Amino acid sequence: FHITPREAEIMDPQERLFLQCVYEALEDAGYTRESLGKQEAFGMKGNVGVYAGVMYEEYQLYGSQEQVRGNNVALSGNPSSIANRVSYFCNFHGPSMAVDTMCSSSLTAIHLACQGIRSGGCEVAIAGGVNVSIHPNKYLMLGQGKFASSKGKCESFGEGGDGYVPGEGVGAVVLKPLDKAVEDGDQIYGIIKATAVNHGGKTNGYTVPNPNAQASILSRAYKESGINPRTISYIEAHGTGTALGDPIEIAGLNKSFREYTKDNGFCAIGSVKSNIGHGESAAG
């Protein structure tokens, strides 16, 4: 993995971080960009898709500050570059897109990657997300919008939680159909049984979750996967530690579980946000 000084100069930090993460994911999977790019799929070489979740595009603000000072500096801030840079470096010819659905960006990227594999748009996909706190403008915005925790920490499902703290992070996974992964002798960390996406519709605000919509999307995923929620022992939740969002998430989970069982106390719930903060576009 090598980036020339000129290439590094024109990349924003999220581009560099995601590109490096993809290289490490490929290395961990036992592939190089050359070996994966040369695999033939549906008659095309290098038919590998790249899906990158991202939501903040603030690197350009540094260029704006310099321009105010009289320095004609323009900085890149195109989210599409995050995915396209990977496809360019690796010579991949499958779909290449940045995905911005706010805090669900990385999970939506994985959802779209699974759809791309199922539809034949790509045989292999790399999906994930990146989140870097590049500029203080983000913290000003979170404070003004009452999103930031007054205590400086996330308290997932905790009493008195009133907001979250952003966490920087990056992650990427290599996705293949299970039978192909088994045939190729790949190291398999997990199996995605089903994915589902929806929106809460009109509530008290588009950042306010809808328990009925959440229950509906969970039920759809259970049915598609063939999983009975009674067999689930742990759920890694969104759990940002807000007084409004956390109870609604619990209500949605309870409603979806009640379609299958009346039992109580069999499924634990938690959120890594209490340990590392809210990864926002990389949270999934």
Which of 90, 103, 122, 154 is catalytic? The answer is 103
User: What DSSP character marks residue 231?
Assistant: G
CB 197 within 8 A of CB 230: no
103 is an active site residue: yes
Question: Which residues are CB-contacts of 125 (< 8 A; sequence separation ≥ 6)?
Answer: 48, 49, 50, 51, 94, 113, 114, 116, 117, 174, 175, 176
278 is an active site residue: yes
Question: Cα–Cα distance between 106 and 129 in angstroms, integer?
Answer: 5
Which of 21, 114, 122, 238 is catalytic? The answer is 238
Cβ atoms within 10 A of the Cβ of 271, count? Answer: 22
**DSSP of 156-201, one letter per residue?**
TT-TT---B-B--EEEEEEE--HHHHHHTT----------------
**First-to-final CA distance of the chain:** 25
Catalytic sites, residue numbers: 103, 238, 278
